[in-house]
Amino acid sequence: MTTRSARPAARSAAPRSGAPKPAGPKSGQRVRSSFVVVANRLPVDRVVLPDGSTDWRTSPGGLVSALAPVMRKNHGAWVGWHGAADEELEPFVDDGLQLVPVPLSAMEVEEYYEGFSNGTLWPLYHDVVEFPEYHREWWDAYVKVNQRFADAAAATAKRNGTVWVQDYQLQLVPQMLRDKRPDLTIGFFLHIPFPPVELFQQLPWRRQVLAGLLGADLVGFQLPGGSANFVRLVRQRVGLPTHRDRIQHPDGRETVARAYPIAIDARGYQELADEPTTLARAAEIRQDLGDPRTVFLGVDRLDYTKGLKQRIRAFGELFASGQLDPDEVVFVQVATPSRERVDKYRQLRDEIDRLVGRINGDLGRIGRSPIVYLHNSYPRDEMAALYKAADVMVVTPLRDGMNLVAKEYVACRSDGSGALVLSEFAGAAQELRQAFQVNPYDINGMKDVFLLADQASPLDLRRRMRAMRRQVFDHDIDRWAERYLADLRQTRGAER
Ligand code: ADQ
């Protein structure tokens, strides 16, 4: 396995230190806002400075990349866990965001977060690519923690305010919040797929989860398929009447279920990618890789849904058969460390280490490894440089709600070059139709498409990239949030 130069975020990104903190809530003072986001995690990570003091740094990840700009624009408050167990923190302001920490005990992290959220819901909602585990103690912790988040949101939201709840960890919050604060407009957005009826009904607590979501005025999904699954389940399992995307409650209230495919800050990415320092860094990366003819790139959280094993196997076979020549081609796989305390994730990491080690051991030579594997998190400018340096981006999840990496790559290719290989099972495939689409379970099929993308004519690539760029730039993150929030206002407006 090779770990060549690239700059890990944890060591190189400078935390905001030294400068006085913006005036924030004083100790014990409550934050009140008419726009509140509730998510499992606050959008910051704590860093320890050389003098031993601590500060906060905006954390990477799909959800954070998507929501931070919207929050700043709306002077909102963000309710979420701050990432350390058994610690209570007062609300604070960081980088213009009002942050309201929700405490979790070590046991709750294990049962609510690692257990029910990531050991039950995550695999169940991703087509059962790993077996979901069902434990009653995990469910009990999920209920308890969801209530705590709902209580914190209820205490933060101003009268008649709007609360936007995020993702699968907090599906009970909408109804819990409505019980306490019927004056609020409540939105929910699910970042991961919503499974078909046949899979969802495995869940022993399926009715409670549906009832939790039904507390929202608007339930948003990545794709129309997810929203249709939800409406069908509500009809069958809860017995409420539905009409297209509307669900009628006995008290006259309505819940609307609709798709809002999440987007990125396309212009921001493009500008960053075109900065002279980024371009220089991209050239340096290629040089460090030995100036190969083709750089293939994969960038994923290290997660079993991302199809890493199948992808690496496909490359291993292409290198072994000589269809790809390690003297000319390199495959760079960046895998962000993720959920490292969960067993399945530890096992996956070991398997990937072994797989990459075996391929490089068999096929590499001094100074040349066919696969460059980087198990690290990087700052945005380094990510943009990697996207610029890559000729072919490979995004081949077994199932993915959307996949922002695919869109980020497209946004960075301002000269129209580059190829995107994209799994049919990523939500992004419904929008990026000109990508080279693959079925990630079909290793031979994937190998063919990797070769096809490598050999495609510059004209064909430019034509595909132009169409994908139009899509990504026309549907950016601002439009996504505006569309969702406008619909949310309307759902409630119609009732009042
Ligand atoms: P994720 O499963 O985390 O998100 P993805 O959409 O690809 O997947 O978002 C990953 C984000 O992390 C991207 O913005 C990417 O740039 C960043 N990232 C990845 N590797 C990195 C690294 N090594 N260093 C730094 N940053 C890195 C969930 C769902 C997705 C959905 C998003 C948003 O699973 O399907 O698209 O939420 O809704």
How confident is the model at residue 341, as a pLDDT?
86
- Pocket test residue of 260, 269, 299 for ligand 1, highest count of atoms within 8 A of CB: 299
Expressed in angstroms and rounded, the spacing between residue 262 Cα and the centre of ligand 1 is 12
Closest C-alpha residue for ligand 1 atom 17: 61
Expressed in angstroms and rounded, the spacing between residue 20 Cα and the centre of ligand 1 is 31
Closest C-alpha residue for ligand 1 atom 15: 405
How confident is the model at residue 46, as a pLDDT?
85
335 CA closest ligand 1 atom index = 23
Closest alpha carbon to 305 in 441, 105, 461, 442:
441
Could you report the per-residue pLDDT of 478-493, keeping only the tens digit for each? 889 889 999 999 997 6
Expressed in angstroms and rounded, the spacing between residue 404 Cα and the centre of ligand 1 is 6
The answer to whether the beta carbons of residues 426 and 400 sit under 8 Å apart is: yes
Residue 365: beta bridge partners?
Answer: 368
Quote the CA–CA distance of 93 and 71 in Å, as a whole number. Answer: 12
What residues does ligand 1 touch, defined as CB less than 6 Å away? Answer: 60-63, 65-66, 191-192, 262, 299, 301, 334, 336, 376-378, 383, 400-405, 408
Expressed in angstroms and rounded, the spacing between residue 254 Cα and the centre of ligand 1 is 32
Q: Phi and psi dihedrals of 258, rounded to 5?
A: -150, 160
The single residue listed with the structure tokens 């895998």 is 335
The answer to whether the beta carbons of residues 180 and 52 sit under 8 Å apart is: no
- Pocket test residue of 45, 262, 404 for ligand 1, highest count of atoms within 8 A of CB: 404
How confident is the model at residue 303, as a pLDDT?
95
Residues 223-260 as b/e (b if ≥16 CB within 10 A, e otherwise) read bebbbbbbbebbeebeeeebeebebeeeeebbbbbbbb
DSSP 196: P
Q: Phi and psi dihedrals of 35, rounded to 5?
A: -135, 110
How confident is the model at residue 60, as a pLDDT?
56
How confident is the model at residue 53, as a pLDDT?
86
The single residue listed with the structure tokens 């399945």 is 344
- pTM of the model as a whole: 0.93
60 CA closest ligand 1 atom index = 26
Expressed in angstroms and rounded, the spacing between residue 300 Cα and the centre of ligand 1 is 7
222 CA closest ligand 1 atom index = 38
Each residue's pLDDT tens digit in the chain (496 positions)?
Answer: 333 334 444 333 333 433 334 445 555 567 899 999 999 999 888 888 888 888 888 765 555 666 666 677 778 899 999 999 999 999 998 877 899 999 999 999 999 999 999 999 999 999 999 999 999 999 999 999 999 999 999 999 999 999 999 999 999 999 999 999 999 999 999 999 999 999 999 999 999 999 999 999 999 999 999 999 999 999 999 999 999 999 999 999 999 999 999 999 899 999 999 999 999 999 999 999 999 999 999 999 999 999 999 999 999 999 999 999 999 999 999 999 888 888 899 999 999 999 999 999 999 988 889 999 999 989 899 999 999 999 999 999 999 999 999 999 999 999 999 999 999 999 999 999 999 999 999 999 999 999 999 999 999 999 999 999 999 999 998 889 889 999 999 997 655 5
- With 0-12 / 13-18 / 19 or more C-beta atoms within 10 angstroms meaning exposed / middle / buried, residue 342 is middle
Closest C-alpha residue for ligand 1 atom 4: 62
Could you report the per-residue pLDDT of 280-297, keeping only the tens digit for each? 999 999 999 999 999 999
H-only helix segments in 322-379: 343-363
How confident is the model at residue 21, as a pLDDT?
44
**CB atoms near residue 17 (< 10 Å):** 14
Expressed in angstroms and rounded, the spacing between residue 468 Cα and the centre of ligand 1 is 19
